[in-house]
Amino acid sequence: MKRRNLLQRILCFSVIVVFMSIPAWGADTIKIGVLGPMAFTQGEGHWNGATLAADEINAQGGVTVNGAKRQIELIKVDTNEFLSVPDATNAVELAISRFNADFLTGGFRTEAVTVMQDIAMDNKKIFLGCGAAHPELCERVATDYNRYKYWFRVTPINSKFLVKVDFILLGTVAKIMATQLNIPKIKVAIVAEQAAWNEPIVSVAQKKLPEMGMEVVGVWRPSPVATDVGAELSAVQRAGAHIIFTSFSSSVGIPFAKQLGELKIPAAPVGINVEAQKQSFYDATGGKGDYTLTINTYARVKITDATIPFFDSYLKRFGEAPNYTAGTYEALHILKEAIERANSLDSDKVVMELEKTDRPGTAGRLVFTKDHDVTWGPGYVTGLGTQWQDGKNQCVWPMGWEGVTYEGVVPYKLPPWIVEHYKK
């Protein structure tokens, strides 16, 4: 029995170590643990964004601390958080205790990030979140600043603002459908993956949509990793929905879009579909993903002077458009600037400088709120609405919203089978 238990412990440890990859650098590097589900696109975004930034910073000599240049060393930490929260906690503990990470960035699934956040705070490690949207992660900073001040959210905008953008996009499409197709009352199906970050979104949507003059015909909650949503789509069609309000951060976004396009259900998809942020989305859906409209962070439009150069560099190097978890690129640059202003790696000193961040970032002007959340709104980070049109992911929002129109935005298009269905 003792021999079997020992073997199990060895195997468990080996699995976690295999999940971690450390490039060989010399001494006196600044070690940054990049946390993410590396077998999924969200983790790829974490790693790719951080890699691009680290290479840029190192090519310029590194980070200046006390007059000396120090290279950035990335630690790739596969948290496996889609499948196991304990795996995520084990991985971040190893990143800190065994591999001596100086700083942390990334994280995706709120349920896992909440625990990882506590581990980082226990060790007073600055953790720049680039994936989890739940407001509580930053509310903890407001309620217990001394413990949680080492947490900052770089991306995405939190769930409350995601919902606002969601409703703006949904309202825009509803208005287009009502006007162009002469539909007196728009019916909406809510299809949201089963995950904690979606709870406030689903709850608010059920209350808000009727206030916007729309009817909610049902709520469906498939698994985040479902490979077949045919039953849900059939139910949505039977319910007579004109719009499907989506909220997907995981792989379920691909079978949803593919099956929706194959079945040509006369309902327009609007909302969040992280898979649709990927360059490979169109091919992954067999070309059926056209007309999918999703909230996005990046597109090849001029949000700031930094956006298009970053987008092009990322696409050229990785063959993919950056999804929002690639905000680790931004995280490393603001961390570099804060370290250099603090002239120290001391977490408390760097926190004080991070709080002063005001940067024309790749997704908009980046300024942190008092509870260390990314500021949302005109003049700051707004988020984008992007729609697949003829195999290209085009930015369709904002277009005149609060006086904001980014150079390169194009008009939204209704799927032709919907137009044909309602004009019969």
Q: What is the pTM (predicted TM-score) of this model?
A: 0.85
In this structure, of 8-17, 223-232, 274-283, the range with the lowest mean pLDDT score is: 8-17
From 42-56, 133-147, 190-204, 338-352, the region with the lowest mean pLDDT: 190-204
pLDDT value of residue 1: 40
Contact 89, 83 (CB under 8 A): no
The pLDDT of residue 377 is: 96
Give kind and range of the element (H or E) at residue 92.
Answer: helix 85-97
Closest CA to 365 of 347, 352, 379, 344: 379
pLDDT band (50, 70, 90) for residue 57: very high
Are 349 and 356 within 8 A, CB to CB? no
Q: What is the mean pLDDT of the chain?
A: 92
Contact 218, 235 (CB under 8 A): yes
- DSSP letters of 382-424? --EEEEEETTEEEEEE-EEETTEE-BT-------HHHHHHHT-
- pLDDT at residue 274 tops 50: yes
Residue 4 has pLDDT above 90, yes or no: no
Kindly indicate the confidence band of residue 140, based on its pLDDT and cuts at 50, 70 and 90: very high
Task: Give the span between the Cα atoms of 418 and 72, in whole angstroms.
Answer: 51
Q: Is the per-residue pLDDT at 17 higher than 60?
A: no
Amino acid 12: pLDDT: 43
In degrees, rounded to 5, the angle at the alpha carbon of residue 154 between the alpha carbons of residues 150 and 157 is 120
**pLDDT for 67 beyond 80:** yes
> What's the pLDDT band for 102 if we cut at 50, 70, 90?
very high
Ramachandran category for residue 157: left, alpha or beta (phi over 0 → left; psi -120 to 50 → alpha)? beta
Question: What is the rounded distance in angstroms from the CA atom of residue 229 to the CA atom of residue 209?
Answer: 24
Dump pLDDT digits (tens) for 243-255: 999 999 889 999 9
User: What is the spatial distance between Cα 215 and Cα 396, in angstroms, rounded to a whole number?
Assistant: 25
Q: Band of the pLDDT at 125, cuts 50, 70, 90?
A: very high
pLDDT tens sequence across 365-412: 999 999 999 999 999 999 999 999 999 999 999 999 999 999 999 999
CA distance 82 to 104: 19
Q: What confidence tens digit (pLDDT) does each residue in 164-175 have?
A: 999 999 999 999
Quick one: pLDDT at residue 249?
A: 85
- 19 pLDDT higher than 90: no
| pLDDT tier for residue 11 given thresholds of 50, 70 and 90 | very low
With pLDDT > 90 as the criterion, what percentage of the chain qualifies?
A: 82
For 209-230, how does the pLDDT look when each residue is reduced to its tens digit (9 = 90+)? 999 999 999 999 999 999 999 9
Average pLDDT over residues 180-206: 91
Mean of pLDDT values over 307-316:
97
Q: Give the pLDDT confidence score for residue 27 in this predicted structure.
A: 57
- What is the mean pLDDT of the segment spanning 409-420? 96
